[in-house]
């Protein structure tokens, strides 16, 4: 009886150890690194947007924050890379993140930012009106401004990124550009469909 009980205890300990080790791999949501909460995500998002020229979003703007992820991207990465490798990639690209938005009555602009659960700013966007006035720069001039912002404000090491393409959007009173970069080392499976891009808009 004693030996039988001891055997069951050993089996139970082994099972619990395996569960604790494998659970984060099988269920990556369980290992999300929540270093910041929604309110802090809003603060970091507002700071990033103000660096892009947004007004003080704490004055008169309604803020909303939503926890977001892409189930389609999650399943794709798991199927193409396996659970363990996919989990590392999902954490790196901030598959789970906070979507932050600010609006105000009378202001037709929309201010949005994406903040990773570890506090990283993964994107920030100011939606300008199509009729808003702005510069009509050449692609080269706009790219210089964009890369200076990436290096000086966001501390992006552009030596690690390869320039891929530029897209021009001609509007009534300005020219907008979107620049896309690809990381030189980090690649996902089926690179043609899943290259890791870094997009930056400049208007």
- Say what the pLDDT of residue 3 is: 52
Please check the confidence at residue 125 and state whether its pLDDT lies above 70: yes
- The predicted-structure confidence for 20-64, as pLDDT tens digits, reads as follows 344 444 444 545 678 889 999 999 999 999 988 899 999 999 999
- Say what the pLDDT of residue 94 is: 73
- Say what the pLDDT of residue 15 is: 43
Looking at mean pLDDT, say which of 7-11, 59-63, 85-89 comes out highest.
59-63
Q: Give CB contacts under 8 A, 24+ apart, made by 59-65.
A: 60/104, 61/102, 61/103, 61/104, 61/107, 61/111, 62/102, 62/103, 62/104, 63/100, 63/101, 63/102, 64/100, 64/101, 64/102, 65/38, 65/39, 65/41, 65/98, 65/99, 65/100, 65/101
Distances in whole angstroms, Cα of residue 46 to Cα of each of 37, 57, 132, 149:
14, 6, 22, 17
DSSP string, 122-172: EEEEEE--TT-------HHHHHHHHHHHHHHTS---GGGEEEEEEEEEEET
- Say what the pLDDT of residue 189 is: 59
| % of the chain at pLDDT higher than 70 | 76
Beta-strand relationship, 174-183 and 197-202: antiparallel
Please check the confidence at residue 168 and state whether its pLDDT lies above 60: yes
**How is domain 28-127 classified at the CATH fold level?**
Nuclear Transport Factor 2; Chain: A, (3.10.450)
- Say what the pLDDT of residue 160 is: 93
Beta-strand relationship, 161-171 and 174-183: antiparallel
- Say what the pLDDT of residue 203 is: 55
Please check the confidence at residue 161 and state whether its pLDDT lies above 70: yes
Provide the pLDDT confidence category of residue 195 given band limits of 50, 70 and 90. very low
The whole-chain average pLDDT of the chain stands at 78
């Amino acid at each position: 009886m004693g030996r039988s009980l001891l055997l069951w205890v050993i089996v139970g300990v082994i099972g619990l150890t395996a569960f604790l080790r494998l659970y984060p791999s099988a269920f990556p949501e369980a290992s999300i690194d929540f270093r910041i909460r929604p309110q802090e995500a809003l603060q970091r998002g507002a700071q990033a947007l103000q660096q892009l020229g947004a007004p003080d979003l704490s004055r008169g703007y309604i803020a909303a924050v939503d926890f977001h992820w892409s189930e389609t991207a999650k399943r794709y990465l798991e199927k193409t890379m396996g659970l363990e490798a996919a989990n590392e990639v999902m954490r790196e690209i901030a598959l789970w993140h906070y979507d932050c938005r600010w609006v105000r009555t009378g202001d037709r602009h929309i201010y949005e930012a994406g903040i990773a659960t570890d506090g990283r700013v993964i994107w920030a966007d100011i939606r300008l009106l199509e009729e808003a006035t702005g510069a009509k720069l050449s692609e080269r001039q706009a790219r210089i401004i964009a890369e200076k912002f990436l290096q000086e404000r966001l501390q992006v090491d552009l030596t690690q990124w390869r320039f891929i393409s530029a897209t021009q959007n001609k509007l009534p009173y300005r020219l907008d550009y979107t620049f896309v970069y690809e990381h030189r080392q980090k690649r996902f499976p089926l690179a043609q469909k899943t290259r890791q891009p870094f997009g930056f808009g400049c208007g």
